[in-house]
Structure 1
Amino acid sequence: MQPTTANAASPLMSDTETKVPALPPLLDPTIATLLEHSPGRVMELVEQFGSPLNIVWPHILHKNLHAMRSVLQAHGVEHQIFYAIKVNKSQSLVHAAVDAGLGVDASSLYEFRDALRAGAKPEQICGTGPAKPDAFIADLVSRGALISIDSVEELAVLESLLSDYRDNWPIRVTLRYRPSASLQSRFGMTANDLEHCLRKLSTQKAAFQFEGFHFHLGGYRPAPRAEALCELVDWVDTARALGLSPRMVDIGGGIPIRYVESDSYDAFIASHHDGHYRNATTPTSFYPYGGRMDAQKWLSLFLASPCRDGQNIADYLKQENLVLGLEPGRSLVDQTAVTAFRITRVKALGENDYVLFVEGSSFSACETWFNSEFLQDPIHLPCGLAGANDDKPCRAYIAGHSCLDEDVITNRFLPFQSRPQTGDLIVYANTAGYQMDLLENEFHRVPMPNRIAVNSDLTTVVLDDLSGEAE
């Protein structure tokens, strides 16, 4: 089933009342049913585990993977998908990815260990990231994981380990390329460095097993990635001419998802202004929350992009017997989690304007720290005290509990049909992707927020703890 909008669960004012289009979140049907029909159950969970509370539905990852694989299989492209573990600290999501047969993209020694703890085989893990610490490199080598080499210097580190790890030969590696669209990036290798490393590897075939190329770009458009892959066509030929056998081109992540309906998003972007923000400043950059392209459409466009000799990318990969490597994070955890904040204070700012202080901080919903906004409306769940909520429409922004004036979950004034009160919940949907825990910390010595993993009907609730183990 496709995600639905949260109109039934969200008591936001209508467009005609606010003059600004609402941005109700898209919701997986399982989550929509819970919030609309069993809000009391969410209240109970927050009472038990505290606020903010991150609730994770690991089974939804399998649905996202199925949608992604269906496109790749329709194009007949051999592929290897590595779950980008950095997207979220939930170990239940890592377990779901491993159980689904995915590899894991690990960018630190700690992510690597969590992947192993979840049951991932070392050969299914790719160690990525720039300037890897020596201890991380050594652990990758000793266990036989794939290593994405970011630089000439990193290859030199690997060469220095050869004598100590002779029993682990050949060391499996890819080379990270710096595409022409990212020449100012500090990541990956220029053409000269790439050629240097290829020649080095070609003279040490007993020690190294060269498996292919890797790149990672910012942004979310398929075209730059298609162009980058096409730039590697000649490098594949060069590697083969040197007697190497590249088997894969890994294009990294950056596959977009949709948080809100596209029409609502376009209408909002066209009409919002400084007066809609408590700091009188309209952000200039947003994630494409209501973009017209979901993961399936993105993959289809990428694979259909022109490549060499009139071929598209899918045909080129098949002809050259190359595996397409992917490292999705956000697109695999789409719709897998929500974050619930409990309101601790409602402070009047003026007639019908309020600030809602919540138990928690913007470190658990972090877009404002990047001078942007998490552009979807949260869902207001009243605590149910009779007569407690003023039924007069109002607007409010949401702030954290800390002493920092910048601790604001949203600078945007949100419209409410009735004034929220202390004890109500504010629920943000779709927070698994780089939202709930990217910046979380124990500021003011407040313990880290709890994360729980649940099944579809909440008959199973387990603590998905911060050490990375679902108990």
Structure 2
Amino acid sequence: MYLHGTSTINAQGHLEIGGCDVTSLKETFGTPLYIVDEQLVRQRCREFIDAFKQTGLKYQVAYASKAFCVKAMCLLVEEEGMSLDVVSDGELYTALQAGFPPERIHFHGNNKTPDEIEMAIDARIGCFVVDNLVELHILQAIAAGKGQKVNILLRVTPGVEAHTHEYISTGQTDSKFGFDIGNGSAYEAVKLASSQSNLQLLGLHSHIGSQIFEVDGFQVAAERVAAFAREVHEGLNVVFSVINLGGGFGIRYTEEDTPLQVAEYVKAIAESVRTHFAGIGPELPEIWIEPGRSIIGDAGTTLYTVGTTKDIPGVRKYVSVDGGMTDNPRPALYDAKYEALLANRAGEPETETVSIAGKCCESGDMLIWDVNLPEVNQGDLLAVASTGAYNYSMASNYNRIRRPGVVFVKDGEASLVVRRETYEDIVRNDLVPERIGRQMVSK
């Protein structure tokens, strides 16, 4: 397994992250356990900020909280000078409870409810990314009713398909997101939005997909968005002060993944904006981007305890762990690939190829199909790398399995930022109608 960030193998042959031996973390916090390398998260934030500083352009880097949203994470990225994207009232509430500055919050989503919009306006967030005409009308009406003027970006689809899984590709024409540039709906949306008395149209938003390893998609998107901006400037005399080119910067899950350095993505985006937006309005627009996975993804490791095994001679050996699709649904959803090692015996030679199974009552609950490990024993600890993004945030209670805890580790200190769910948490919202209770008593 590739060792990210501060991860290392100590003298005892144990995996160590942030100066913390994971065998000790298991004893203290149990398993499954999400472990976040705080130093690596901060490093990733700084890589984006520093790269933009080198461009000399105005910028804003917003952490896409859908990747991993807890109060500690919101505070961490705020400390690193980042803004924040949210896509639901729950994410917004988390950010506000953490004390994140509302003027640096951007609200995304293709189906924001009136209640969510009202909540965000009352909080006086910095910007809405408007996805469709229905939302545009609702936003104008609520803002007018409150006597406020709110900042907006219009999300547009530039017709760019990133080289990624079809379920996480969002910039193509056939998408549930945004106004299409090609069919004229984006132009009409600009015309309508710029005429609304309670909406301040700052600019455009474009997002072409996720887990992207090239810069060409971003370059083409910038070119097409710029061509549209020029058309709008000439036809409607509207000038955009902000261009948001989204996120989707790839990370390393396995040796097949070849992500670029953060600075390479940023440089390509900045150069494209300089080239294609030159002459549209008095100055170049401010560039916004919204990394999520590339901030938190490879900083996360999930620790499991090995349980049972099943060896089918000549076919496969299954090794089951105490988690699975409830804490990491990505292999089932996207056929996502991961690397792993035995965290308590990391220095031993790999002598067998096994498949890692989850404990859910689903044949599809497989975390890794083939991985080379030392001979696995019951009670061993298995560490799966690059699980920081879309693992905790997509976790469920399927089979009434409790969601794991989350610890941040740094300089030998482990801090619990989300406690492991209890049995009481599992039934906390359950209600039993009185008529059912009566039947039980009568029997």
TM range (shorter): 0.7 to 0.9
Q: SS where residue 180 of structure 1 aligns?
A: coil
Work out whether residues 219 and 268 of structure 2, in 8 Å CA contact, stay in contact via their aligned partners in 1: no
**Once the two structures are superposed, what CA deviation does each residue of 1:161-217 show, in whole Å capped at 9, x if it has no partner?**
244211xx211111111112311112111243222232223333x422111111111
Aligned counterpart, 2:407: 452
- AA partner of residue 214 (structure 1): H
Aligned counterpart, 2:92: 112
Q: SS where residue 89 of structure 1 aligns?
A: coil
Q: SS where residue 364 of structure 1 aligns?
A: coil
Structure 2, gaps ≥5 residues long? 161-171, 422-443
Aligned counterpart, 1:231: 224
Change (3 A) 1:444 1:363: closer
**Once the two structures are superposed, what CA deviation does each residue of 1:56-109 show, in whole Å capped at 9, x if it has no partner?**
123322211222223222222211011100001343222111111211110111
Aligned counterpart, 1:99: 79
Aligned counterpart, 1:422: 378
Change (3 A) 1:317 1:218: farther
Change (3 A) 1:55 1:292: closer
- AA partner of residue 386 (structure 2): N
Give me the whole-angstrom Cα distance separating, in 1, the residues matched to 2:222 and 2:101.
Answer: 28
Work out whether residues 210 and 244 of structure 1, in 8 Å CA contact, stay in contact via their aligned partners in 2: no
Give me the whole-angstrom Cα distance separating, in 2, the residues matched to 1:361 and 1:83.
Answer: 27
Match among 244, 255, 266 for residue 250 of structure 1: 244
Aligned counterpart, 2:23: 43
- AA partner of residue 104 (structure 2): Q
- AA partner of residue 304 (structure 2): F
Tell me the TM-score normalised to structure 1 length.
0.77
Q: SS where residue 46 of structure 2 aligns?
A: helix
Aligned counterpart, 1:282: none
Give me the whole-angstrom Cα distance separating, in 1, the residues matched to 2:63 and 2:393.
Answer: 17
Root-mean-square deviation over aligned CA pairs: 2.9
Q: SS where residue 83 of structure 1 aligns?
A: strand
Match among 125, 128, 152 for residue 173 of structure 1: 152
Cα distance, 1:356 vs. partner? 0.8
1:369 aligns with 2:336: no
Cα distance, 1:33 vs. partner? 5.0
Aligned counterpart, 1:61: 41
Structure 1, gaps ≥5 residues long? 1-23, 266-289, 385-389
1:25 aligns with 2:22: no
- AA partner of residue 241 (structure 2): R
Work out whether residues 256 and 298 of structure 1, in 8 Å CA contact, stay in contact via their aligned partners in 2: no
Change (3 A) 1:56 1:44: same
Aligned counterpart, 2:198: 207
- AA partner of residue 295 (structure 1): V
Change (3 A) 1:203 1:373: closer
Q: SS where residue 232 of structure 1 aligns?
A: helix
Give me the whole-angstrom Cα distance separating, in 2, the residues matched to 1:441 and 1:454.
Answer: 24
1:464 aligns with 2:418: yes
Cα distance, 1:438 vs. partner? 4.4
Cα distance, 1:229 vs. partner? 2.0
Q: SS where residue 335 of structure 1 aligns?
A: helix
Work out whether residues 68 and 296 of structure 1, in 8 Å CA contact, stay in contact via their aligned partners in 2: yes
Count of aligned pairs between the two proteins = 400
Work out whether residues 342 and 358 of structure 1, in 8 Å CA contact, stay in contact via their aligned partners in 2: yes
Aligned counterpart, 2:357: 399
Match among 324, 330, 333 for residue 293 of structure 2: 330
Give me the whole-angstrom Cα distance separating, in 2, the residues matched to 1:292 and 1:88.
Answer: 20
- AA partner of residue 160 (structure 1): A
Work out whether residues 58 and 93 of structure 1, in 8 Å CA contact, stay in contact via their aligned partners in 2: no
Give me the whole-angstrom Cα distance separating, in 1, the residues matched to 2:294 and 2:149.
Answer: 33
Q: SS where residue 318 of structure 2 aligns?
A: strand
Change (3 A) 1:98 1:392: closer
Work out whether residues 302 and 383 of structure 2, in 8 Å CA contact, stay in contact via their aligned partners in 1: yes
Match among 105, 111, 119 for residue 139 of structure 1: 119
- AA partner of residue 265 (structure 2): W
Cα distance, 1:466 vs. partner? 7.5
- AA partner of residue 154 (structure 1): E
Give me the whole-angstrom Cα distance separating, in 2, the residues matched to 1:333 and 1:455.
Answer: 15
- AA partner of residue 151 (structure 2): R
Give me the whole-angstrom Cα distance separating, in 1, the residues matched to 2:292 and 2:282.
Answer: 28
**Once the two structures are superposed, what CA deviation does each residue of 1:409-467 show, in whole Å capped at 9, x if it has no partner?**
112x2222x31101101101221022x22432122222111111222322x42232489
Give me the whole-angstrom Cα distance separating, in 2, the residues matched to 1:93 and 1:346.
Answer: 36
Give me the whole-angstrom Cα distance separating, in 1, the residues matched to 2:10 and 2:58.
Answer: 38
- AA partner of residue 179 (structure 1): P
Tell me the TM-score normalised to structure 2 length.
0.82
Give me the whole-angstrom Cα distance separating, in 2, the residues matched to 1:45 and 1:27.
Answer: 18
Give me the whole-angstrom Cα distance separating, in 1, the residues matched to 2:112 and 2:355.
Answer: 41
Change (3 A) 1:441 1:36: farther
Q: SS where residue 159 of structure 1 aligns?
A: helix
- Deviation larger for 357-366 or 421-430: 357-366
Match among 120, 129, 137 for residue 148 of structure 1: 129
Work out whether residues 392 and 419 of structure 1, in 8 Å CA contact, stay in contact via their aligned partners in 2: yes
- Identity of matched residues, %: 20
Match among 262, 265, 268 for residue 301 of structure 1: 268
Give me the whole-angstrom Cα distance separating, in 2, the residues matched to 1:197 and 1:134.
Answer: 20
Change (3 A) 1:314 1:199: closer
- AA partner of residue 421 (structure 1): N
- AA partner of residue 253 (structure 1): G
- AA partner of residue 209 (structure 1): Q
